[in-house]
Structure 1
Amino acid sequence: MNTIVALALILLILMVLVGGRKGAKSFIAIFLNFAVLIVTIFIMLDPSADPIILTIFASTLISCITLFYINDVNSTTKTAFLSTVITIVILLALITFLTETTMIQGFSEEEIGELYIFSFYIGIDFVKIVAAMIIMSTIGAITDMAIAIASPMREIHYHHPTISRKELYRSGVSIGRDILGTNTNTLFFAFFGGYLALLIWFKDLSYTFGEIINSKVFSEEMITIMCAGIGIAIIIPITSGITAYALVRSGDN
């Protein structure tokens, strides 16, 4: 049996045993989100397609699958979804500006050696491609942060229905602060885990610390981490505000 298939079956069994029906839906959602990413990438190959618009559409669809398919449609997932979309739009504007300013788009010197036989005139805006890539890398963490704040806020309001909007908002921000550090560190160490071979290669090439820091491939990944961290930080007050407004206004118990 193929190793990947075996691991997928083990993952499915564990997710069903631990999460039950929701665990099975989460497993299916992985493949649905993967399909959305693949389709989006193929559409981006068309020079007439706008990667930014495609990214917004794909991120929205991924958020719908992650929130509504797994957790059903309720006040918690609705506020988490709205918070995610707002954060994505803000991040896209910021990331596009940073990409144009830092010029991290395109291929780095370390990657050019293997691609010199190919033409680089492919008619695709790499600034928008990099912006799309960074958003796709952070959408999971942003959605996770939104539901992690909205869900306990709903529980707080359920047990304390007379709580004021301001107090509920503060509770949401407090929850976000507790998980902000762990989520940010997860992204940071995921980078070093995924690019450990690259760092070893830098050492074999006798790169100085300054050359590593200023290399395009390293800067691109660090900017991705920073933007993901900014997205996680931004979504805390956004989710807290929207959820507090929705719960207190509707009196949802």
Structure 2
Amino acid sequence: MSHAHGHEHAPPAPPRVRRTVLAIIVPLVVATVIGLIVLWPRGPAPTQRTDDVVRLRGTVVSATPACPVGTAATLGGPCGNATVEADGQTVTATIPSGASAPRVEAGDKVVVVVTEAVTPEGAADPAARTYAVVDHDRTTPLIWLVALFVAVIVGFGRWRGVASLAGLAITFAILLVFILPAIQRGEPPLWVAIVGSAAIMFAVLYLTHGVSVQTSVAVLGTLGALVLTGLLGLVVTDWMHLTGGGSDESAILTNVLAGIDLRGLLLAGIIIGTLGVLDDVTVTQAAIVGELAAADPSLSARRLYRSAIRVGRAHIASAVNTIILAYAGASLPLLLLIVTAGTRTRDVLTTQQISTEIVRGVVGTIGLVAAVPLTTLLAAWLTSLAHRAATPDEL
């Protein structure tokens, strides 16, 4: 999520500017901490536990996936068998059929589910135990892929890359420890997303880009745009009567988590989905203003804003395309399904599923666009303040 921009050697801002920034940042940090305390997940989580399902991971020794025509292949049942070495034992497991079923062959790493038969007395019957291949074991490829990712980031970014990875770890920690458990326990998803996003921004941006006035400008611009995104999403989803339902995932969630706020979950998804692109835009705009001021200390706040906003427009043009394509790519199977059904374009666009994705993309993009003038204006104002404090070449 974090991107390095060249302001490592920027001189310290004058005391007046630092005091101004602290007067804005400190209350926001305190509010974020209070929000974390109030919304922190407490008590047991409502879950559908599957700990009693026994899974084995092993290697396929041999496989016979083909089924005779007119038997299980046409019935959609198990088709073929595989001999699997798992946990020091060799078992014969069934292979499911269907277009989405795993295709296995000798040498593949697979996951096998064990089903225990029960005697009339209610006891497990090991003699009637059955095995079924349910998926490929992707542990090793994932480890190598993550290792490649880390090597590329560190090899190119060096210490900046290490800081970026640390920021990514913090992001996942906040998602897994705070945001998801809090929503799971019934806290308002919108507020959880705003507080969690603020915590991510404070931790990640300062860690990745250093503690400076320039980074603080990016943080303030990001938080301002996130709040605007949340408010706009609240208005638009109410206006369009979007409930956040309509998908298989939402149907499952309503059964597993009674009373979950699906509309709030939709808004939380919009905020978190916009977060990663926002920090790149705001950090860039703050850095541009700093570089312009260093190149020509005589520039007024108005001229700084006008010069930086021109660069921001070019940046936002590509960023808008990025965020819209990201949402379209995530919805590609759904779009293909609806188009294949031969539904009219208007009917397609006004379905809850497609309207929800349109709202995600449009609201997130508007928040992204708003971040550019907001951050640029704040950076230009602080630069002008620094100049008036007789330190004309610092931000």
| TM-score (normalizing by structure 1) | 0.91
1:223 maps onto 2:223 in alignment: no
Give the corresponding residue for 2:273.
Answer: 137
Q: Out of 230, 234, 247, which is 1:92 matched to?
A: 230
Q: CA 1:204–1:27 in 2, change beyond 3 Å: closer, same or farther?
A: same
Give the corresponding residue for 1:65.
Answer: 203
Note the C-alpha offset of 1:57.
1.1
RMSD: 2.1
Give the corresponding residue for 1:7.
Answer: 145
CA distance in 2: counterparts of 1:106 and 1:128, whole angstroms: 8
Q: Which amino acid aligns with 1:40?
A: I
Q: CA 1:73–1:245 in 2, change beyond 3 Å: closer, same or farther?
A: same
Q: Do the aligned partners of 2:331 and 2:357 also contact (CA within 8 Å) in 1?
A: no
1:111 maps onto 2:248 in alignment: yes
Give the corresponding residue for 2:286.
Answer: 150
CA distance in 2: counterparts of 1:96 and 1:117, whole angstroms: 21
Give the corresponding residue for 2:171.
Answer: 33
More strand per residue: 2
Q: Do the aligned partners of 1:92 and 1:135 also contact (CA within 8 Å) in 2?
A: yes
1:238 maps onto 2:371 in alignment: no
More helix per residue: 1
Q: CA 1:250–1:189 in 2, change beyond 3 Å: closer, same or farther?
A: same
CA distance in 1: counterparts of 2:260 and 2:154, whole angstroms: 42
201-210 or 171-180: bigger deviation: 201-210
1:250 maps onto 2:373 in alignment: no
Aligned length in residues: 250
238-247 or 205-214: bigger deviation: 205-214
Q: Do the aligned partners of 1:100 and 1:127 also contact (CA within 8 Å) in 2?
A: no
SS state of the match for residue 255, structure 2?
A: coil
Structure 2: which 5+ runs fail to align?
1-138, 388-392
Give the corresponding residue for 1:197.
Answer: 333
| TM-score (normalizing by structure 2) | 0.60
SS state of the match for residue 103, structure 1?
A: coil
Note the C-alpha offset of 1:64.
1.8
Quick one: percent identity of the two aligned structures?
A: 22
Note the C-alpha offset of 1:134.
0.7
Moved over 6 A (4+): none
Q: Do the aligned partners of 2:245 and 2:251 also contact (CA within 8 Å) in 1?
A: no
Q: Which amino acid aligns with 1:99?
A: T
SS state of the match for residue 245, structure 2?
A: coil
CA distance in 2: counterparts of 1:180 and 1:119, whole angstroms: 40
Of structures 1 and 2, the larger Rg is shown by: 2
